[in-house]
Structure 1
Amino acid sequence: MSKTTKWLVGGVAVVAIAGIAYASFGPQTQSKDKETLTVGIMAGDKRTDKQWKIIKNNAKKEGLTLKIKTFTDYTQPNAALSSGDIDANAFQHYIFLNDWNKSHKSNIVPVGETILVAGRLYSDKHKSIKDIPENGTVGISNSKVTQGRSLLVLQSAGLIKIASNVKDPTVKDIVENKKNLKFKELATDQLVRTLPEVDVAAIDPSFIVGSGRSIKSAIYVQPVDKNTHGGINIIATTKNKKNSVAIKKFVKAYQSDNVADYIDNKSGTGEIAVWKGAPKVQ
C-alpha cells in the first residue's frame, strides 16, 4: 500500500471516529439542555397556578421543561405515575403514599418534601391558648374527617388528649380535658361565623381567607414535628427514576427560596414550606 493510500484510509478512519464520537456525545448534550418532565398535580386554583409558574421558571433555568398535568381524583396521579403517563407527582403526604403502596403493591417513592397544611386555631376573644378559660367553648367541625384533624390540633396545643389507638378521632375519644371545655359541632363552613360566640375554633385557612380575615391571625399554628410528619406533602416518583438528573432538577426547582416565600407569605393557602433549609415563616 502506498503512502498516499495509507493517508487516505487513515483520514477516512479519523473522520469516521469523529462522526461516531459526535453521534455518541453531541445529541446527549443537546437533549440534556432540553429535558422535559411531566408532573401530576391536583387541579387547584389561581394561587396554585402562580406557585407552579414560579417552579417552572426555576426549572427552566436548570435546563428543564416541566409539563404539568392536572387531575381531579386523588387515585389518578399515582396510577398515572405507575403506568408511565407522568414522571413524578406532587399532591400527597407520606401517610397517603404508604397506604397506596401497600394496597396497590407499587414502587412509588418520595424524593423531596414540599408543604404541610398546618392546623390552626382562631379566636376573637383571646390572644393566646393560655387565655382560654375553664369551661370554655370550642368550635369544631361536625365532619368526621375534619373533626379528627381538628382534635389533633387541639391536642397539639395542649388543650385535650385523645385516645392513642384511634385513627379518626371524634369528641367521644377525648380522654383528658383538664379545662372541661365544651364542644360546639358545626358545619365546617359555619365555623368562622361562630368566632364571636366561642372561645376558640379549629378552622380551615380557606374559610378564614374567604371571610376577609388574615391566616396569620391564628392564636396557634400546629408545628412541624413527629406528630405532623406523616402529613407532610411530598414529590414522588418511581424507584427507577428517583436518581435521574431531571428529577433532581425538579426537586431543586421546587425547594427554592422564592417558592417558599410564595407559599408562606403570599399564597393565602395556609400551607407551610417544610423542606430542609426552607426559610422560616415570617
Structure 2
Amino acid sequence: MKKSLLAAILLIMATLVSACGGKEEAAQTGGQSAEQQVIKVGVTGGPHEEILNKVKEVAKAEGLEVEVVVFNDYVLPNQALDKGNIDLNSFQTIPFLEKFNQDHKTNIVVIGKTVTFPMGLYSTKYKSVEEIPEGGIVGIQNDPTNRARALLLYQSAGLITLKEGVGDQATPQDITDNPKNLEFKELEAPFLARSLNNLDAASINTNFAMEAGYNPTKDSIFAEGGDSPYVNVLAVNESEKENPTYKKLVEIYRSEEVKKFIEEHFAGAVLPSW
C-alpha cells in the first residue's frame, strides 16, 4: 500500500513539473508552441489587406502561419488588438495611434514601420483644384488625425490657410482664410469615396480610394508628396513588443520580396518605408 501511495505521489509531482515547464516554454515563445505559429493580423480592406496576403505567403515559407482579419473602419482594429482578439494590426499612422491611445487609455505601440499611402483630393466633377467652385462642398474625414491631415492637404493645395502651428491638431475652426468659402463636410473615412458624386471634392485615404476603383496616381487632383510624415505601422500591445515571433513577422513584412510586390502591384500609389 505504501509503495502504491509513493508511486502515486511521484506521478502527480512529475505531472506538475511537466505542466510548469510547458507554461514557461509558452511564455518564452509569446504563448505559442512550435506547432502553433498562427498570428492574427488586423487590417483595413484594400491595399493593407493585399499587402498582408503577400506577407502571409512569404511568412508561410518561414514557418509562420498568418491569419488576415479584415476591418472596415479605423476604430475596430485597435479595439480588437486591445482586447486580445488579434495579435497585431497594420492600418494606421503614428499620429493616429498616439491619438487613439490618448483617447481610449490603451497601450498599443509601434513594432515596425510599413508603407506610406499619400492622401489625395479627388473629384468626379473637376479636373483640378482651381476648378472647385465658390461655395463648393468638400469632404474631409471625421476622425481627429485624418481630419487634421486632410485640412493640411487642402492648405497645401492652396485652398485654405490654417492657423500657424496647429499641425496635426488642426480642425475646421483653425481655418483663417477660405477664399472660395468652401463648406467642409465631415464623414467617416470609408464613406468619402462612396459619397464623391455628391461632393465637389473630397480628401480620401489611398486604401479607400483604391477600394472604390480610383487610381491615386491618375485620378487624384492633388496629393501629398513623398515626404509625408504619415507612415503606416505594424502595432502590438505594449506587453508583446519584445515577442520574437512578432519581430520576425516585421522582418518578413520589410523583406525585399514584399517590397518588390508593393512597387510592382501599386505602381507608386503605395510607398515602402524601407
TM-score, normalised via structure 1 length: 0.60
Q: Distance in 1 between matches of 2:105 and 2:60?
A: 34
Question: Taking structure 1 as reference, are residues 104 and 154 closer, same or farther at Cα in structure 2, changes over 3 Å only?
Answer: closer
In 1, the alpha carbon distance for the partners of 2:71 and 2:222 equals 33
> Are the equivalent residues in 2 in contact too, given 1:121–1:221 (CA < 8 A)?
yes
Cα distance in 2 between the residues matched to 1:207 and 1:73: 14
Q: Structure 2 vs 1, CA of residues 32 and 252 (structure 1 numbering), >3 Å: closer, same or farther?
A: farther
1:61 maps to which residue? 61
Is the aligned partner of 1:237 residue 2:241?
no
Per the alignment, residue 169 of structure 1 pairs with: 171
Residue 102 of structure 2 corresponds to 102
Partner of 1:272: 270
Show the counterpart of 2:154.
154
What is the aligned-residue RMSD (CA, Å)?
4.4
**CA drift at 1:66:** 1.5
Deviations 1:221-256 (A, max 9, x none): 21354xx53x43211123343233311221122223
- In the alignment, structure 2 segments of 5+ residues that lack a partner are 1-20, 22-27
Q: Name the CA distance, whole Å, in 2 between partners of 1:36 and 1:181.
A: 56
Deviations 1:40-82 (A, max 9, x none): 314525x654432211111123222223344567555444444
- Normalised to the residue count of structure 2, the TM-score between the two structures is 0.62
Secondary structure in structure 2 of the residue aligned to 1:63: coil
Q: How does 1:13-28 map to 2 (within 5 A)?
A: none
Q: 1:222 to 1:88 in 2, by over 3 A?
A: same
Closer/same/farther in 2, CA of residues 209 and 154 from structure 1, 3 Å limit: same
Q: What does residue range 15-94 of structure 1 map to in structure 2 within 5 Å? A: 34=35, 36-42=37-43, 44=45, 49-71=49-71, 74-94=74-94
Q: Which amino acid aligns with 1:95?
A: P
Matched with 1:223 is: 225
Match of 1:117 in 2: 117
| Residue 143 of structure 1, CA deviation | 6.5
